[in-house]
Structure 1
Amino acid sequence: MTIAEVSEKFGISQDTLRYYERIGLIPRVNRNKSGIRDYTEEDCKWVEFIICMRNAGLPIEVLIEYVELFQQGDATIEARKELLIEQRKLLIARMEDMQKTLERLNYKIAVYEQVVVEKEKELKRSEN
Structure 2
Amino acid sequence: MNVSEFSKHMGVNPHTVRYYDKLGLLDDVYRLPSGHRYFQEKDIAWFEFIQRLKGTGMPIEKIRIYAALRKEGKKTLASRQDMLKEHSAKLQQKIQIEQQHLVKLNDKINLYQCALDGKISLD
The TM-score with structure 1 as length reference comes to: 0.85
The letter for the 2-side match of 1:94 is K
Corresponding residue number in structure 2 for 1:79: 79
1:22-42 Cα shifts (integer Å, max 9, x gaps): 112233422334433210111
Percent identity of the aligned residues?
Answer: 34
**Structure 1: tracts of 5 or more residues without a match:** 120-128
- 1:13 corresponds to which residue? 13
Write the distance in 2 (CA, Å) between the matches of 1:34 and 1:68.
25
* More helix by percentage: 1
- What is the distance in 2 between the residues matched to 1:108 and 1:27? 49
Q: 1:99 Cα deviation (Å)?
A: 0.5
CA distance in 1, matches of 2:48, 2:111: 41
Cα distance in structure 2, aligned partners of 1:88 and 1:26: 23
- Tell me the amino acid that sits aligned with residue 30 of structure 2: N
Counterparts of 1:105 and 1:65, CA distance in 2: 37
Q: Greater CA deviation, 79-88 or 108-117?
A: 108-117
In structure 2, relative to structure 1, the CA distance for the partners of 1:36 and 1:26 (3 Å cut) is closer
Q: What's the counterpart of residue 42 of structure 2?
A: 42
The residue aligned with 1:57 is 57
Which residue is equivalent to 1:112?
A: 112
Q: Which has the larger radius of gyration?
A: 1
1: CA distance, partners of 2:27 / 2:118: 60
The Cα shift of 1:103 comes to 0.7
Find the aligned partners of 2:18 and 2:8 in 1 and give their Cα distance. 14
Provide structure 2 residue ranges, at least 5 long, that are not aligned to the other structure: none
Mapped to 2, the partners of 1:89 and 1:64 lie a distance apart of 19
- Specify the SS of the correspondent of 2:32: coil
Q: CA deviation at 1:53?
A: 1.3
1:64 Cα offset (Å): 0.7
Question: How high is the TM-score relative to the length of structure 2?
Answer: 0.88
What amino acid is aligned across from residue 53 of structure 1 in structure 2? L
Contact 1:21-1:28 within 8 A present in 2 as well: no
CA RMSD of aligned residues (A): 1.8
Counterpart contact for 1:3–1:38, Cα < 8 Å: yes
Distance across 1 between alignment mates of 2:116 and 2:5: 50
